[in-house]
Amino acid sequence: MEKFNFVKPDYTILLASGSPRRKELISKFNFNLKIVKAPENKEIIPDNVFRENIAIHLAKEKSLNYKGLKENEILVTADTIVWKDNKILGKPKDKEEAIEMLEFLSGDEHFVFTGVCLRSINKTTSFFAETKVKFSKLSKAEILYYIENYKPYDKAGAYGIQEWIGMIAVEYIEGSFYNVMGLPVQKLYKEIMEF
């Protein structure tokens, strides 16, 4: 398939991410694309930052920590969080935390926020996408089956909507499905086009 780039023919889009889902999603744009190593990030969240602003803050921090941006490159960084009852759910550090997260999400609504930062040598912009997700009540056996078979330790909120748990647990979503996967592609495409 022929490559194209509506932004500028000689621009390269750099995705700084280790997420296989983000790589898969952005590659479907068929831009001149290069995947680069995501910079090390401590992910320190200031006390006065909440909800979608956490995701935006983390995406900006990743962008600012990336060195070596060149002319005719647009760097894309993103961060996804799950938010419920004024609590942030990032990636679980172990099986016990994954169980706790899924039990917390079970039978209730939560929000998924993805913050995205676009940066060139001359310009920076950031935005976010919000999706509301409703989980049905999950049994302990279902939670354990999912964790043991899908090992969701690299996913915010300990789940991937595109996996088995998405099919059996998600009653409805309001907003972008792809945002829950980790990259709000429709919004990202529009922002790149206008950048």
Domain annotation covers residue 3: no
Residue 98 is predicted with a pLDDT of 98
Domain annotation covers residue 98: yes
How many domains, the chain?
Answer: 1
Q: Structure pTM?
A: 0.91
CA–CA dist 52, 181 (Å, integer): 16
The per-residue b/e assignment along 115-143, b for 16 or more CB within 10 angstroms, e otherwise, is: bbbbbbeeeeebbbbbbebebeebeeebb
| Mean pLDDT of successive 10-residue stretches along the chain, which has 195 residues | 56 92 90 86 76 94 93 95 95 97 98 97 96 98 98 96 97 97 94 89
Domain annotation covers residue 76: yes
CATH number at 26 reads: 3.90.950.10
Residue 1 is predicted with a pLDDT of 53
Residue 2 is predicted with a pLDDT of 57
Active site residues: 79
The domain containing residue 145 runs over which residues? 12-194
Domain annotation covers residue 155: yes
